[in-house]
């Protein structure tokens, strides 16, 4: 576990911790996935000597309200902010404290990575690419980068800088390129793990393999093996053919 003081934005928590600990009512600790919500909320609960409810958004509204009523100084952790409609009524009864993502505190990345490396027993010098932002998944993503580099030698690749060919108004051509960009981004962010990439894209495994046949896999170095949808190759259609580099 990364020490509390190394988590993103904890310089801000250091200045706020006394007020948070002394607050007479419940606390609503929230942030994006992987920002350390559970760690910080559990620490605050321990310091306040009160109960801690993790993933508070998973309870229905009545159960959340009952928990707060039974734990008037309790600490709730959630990945939804207090303004989110599903939790707004109960979160309004709490003092909200938002945790920052890695991008919100770039200076913390080196310390977090060093702490994760120590926990994993990695003593070798760490490649700079491991600490590159953005880091999808925040702290969880940072750990995944480290473990995949340690076990497989994989490093995060630069994002695909391709842009849509908006000089043409052809819808099929633009959708084809957008599909490729999203597929390649998902494959890179999952370090070639195709099941993870399918989950990121919200498609089935079969659909993912069809997309890879159409656009290739930049992580495994596989070129496209399909010509793509027939609608891209209709004769006489202006601006319909996609350049080979975009397939």
pLDDT digits 0-9 by tens, 137-178:
899 889 988 998 988 888 876 655 556 666 667 787 888 889
**Could you tell me if 135 and 55 lie in one domain?**
no
Residues 208 and 186 in one domain: yes
| H/E stretch holding 76 | strand 75-78
Annotate 86-138 with DSSP letters as a single string.
Answer: TTHHHHTTSEEEEPPPGGG-GGGHHHHHHHHHHHHT--SPPPGGGG-S--TTH
- If asked whether residues 110 and 96 sit together in one domain, one would say no
With respect to residue 79, please indicate whether it lies within any of the assigned structural domains: yes
Mean pLDDT of the chain: 86
Looking at the structure, do residues 44 and 119 belong to the same domain, yes or no? no
Comparing 79 with 137, the larger pLDDT belongs to 79
Listed in sequence order, the residues at least 6 apart from 32 whose beta carbon sits closer than 8 Å to its beta carbon are 79, 99, 101, 138
Residue 135 is part of which domain span?
104-152
Whether residues 133 and 75 fall in one domain = no
Q: Residues 9-45: pLDDT tens digits?
A: 877 666 677 888 999 999 999 999 889 899 899 999 9
Claim to verify: residue 72 and residue 117 sit in the same structural domain: no
Total domains in the fold of the chain: 3
Looking at the structure, tell me whether residues 134 and 86 fall in a common domain: no
Q: What is the pTM of this model?
A: 0.65
Q: Which of 152, 187, 213 is the last residue of a domain?
A: 152
């Amino acid at each position: 576990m990364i020490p509390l003081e190394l988590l993103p934005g904890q310089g801000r928590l250091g200045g706020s911790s006394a007020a948070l600990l002394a607050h007479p009512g419940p606390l609503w600790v929230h942030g994006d996935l992987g920002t350390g919500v559970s760690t910080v909320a559990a620490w605050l609960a321990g310091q306040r000597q009160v109960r801690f409810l993790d993933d508070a958004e998973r309870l229905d509204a009545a159960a959340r309200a009952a928990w707060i009523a039974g734990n008037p100084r309790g600490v709730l952790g959630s990945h939804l902010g207090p303004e989110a409609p599903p939790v707004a009524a109960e979160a309004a009864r709490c003092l909200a404290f938002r945790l920052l993502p890695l991008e919100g505190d770039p200076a913390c990345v080196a310390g977090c990575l060093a702490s994760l490396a120590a926990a994993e027993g990695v003593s070798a010098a760490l490649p700079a690419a491991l600490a590159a932002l953005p880091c999808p998944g925040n702290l969880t993503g940072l750990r995944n980068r480290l473990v995949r580099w340690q076990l497989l030698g994989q490093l995060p690749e630069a994002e695909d800088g391709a842009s849509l060919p908006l000089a043409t108004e052809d819808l099929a051509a633009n959708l084809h390129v957008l599909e490729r960009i999203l597929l390649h981004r998902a494959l890179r962010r999952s370090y070639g793990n195709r099941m993870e990439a399918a989950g990121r894209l919200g498609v089935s495994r079969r659909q993912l393999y069809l997309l890879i046949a159409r656009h290739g896999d930049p992580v495994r170095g596989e070129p496209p093996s399909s010509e793509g949808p027939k609608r891209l190759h209709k004769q006489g259609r202006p601006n319909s053919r996609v350049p080979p580099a975009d397939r």
